[in-house]
Amino acid sequence: MEEKILRKLFLGFIQVHILYHTSKGPVFGSWMIEELKRHGYEVSAGTLYPLLHEMHRKGLLKKQEQNVGGRIRKYYSITPVGAAVLDEARCKALELVKELTE
């Protein structure tokens, strides 16, 4: 039960990470999995790719496809809507950190 609750909570954190990194430049899935691992998140491709697709569908990310070594690689970048959501998430996260560290 606790694991399911943490998973749902961490999916929100992962989305904020995705928005942050895509605000710095285009990212692709396998790079994002490794970056999230550096932050302590063990995310499988089966979790990340549907999340990227959903964020794209909701207008938070835009997608560009490029041929890399004969394979199509999808690069994701933040949209203006995604940037606005990231700004709001940043404000809420800072407020929460202040409360948690009091």
What CATH class does 2-100 carry? mainly alpha
Inter-residue contact 82 to 52 (CB < 8 Å)? no
pLDDT higher than 80, residue 1: no
| pTM exceeds cut of 0.85 | yes
What is the domain partition of the chain in residue ranges? 2-100
Going by pLDDT thresholds of 50, 70 and 90, the confidence category of residue 6 is confident
CA distance 82 to 71: 27
What tens digit of pLDDT does each residue of 44-92 get?
Answer: 999 999 999 999 999 999 999 999 889 999 999 999 999 999 999 999 9
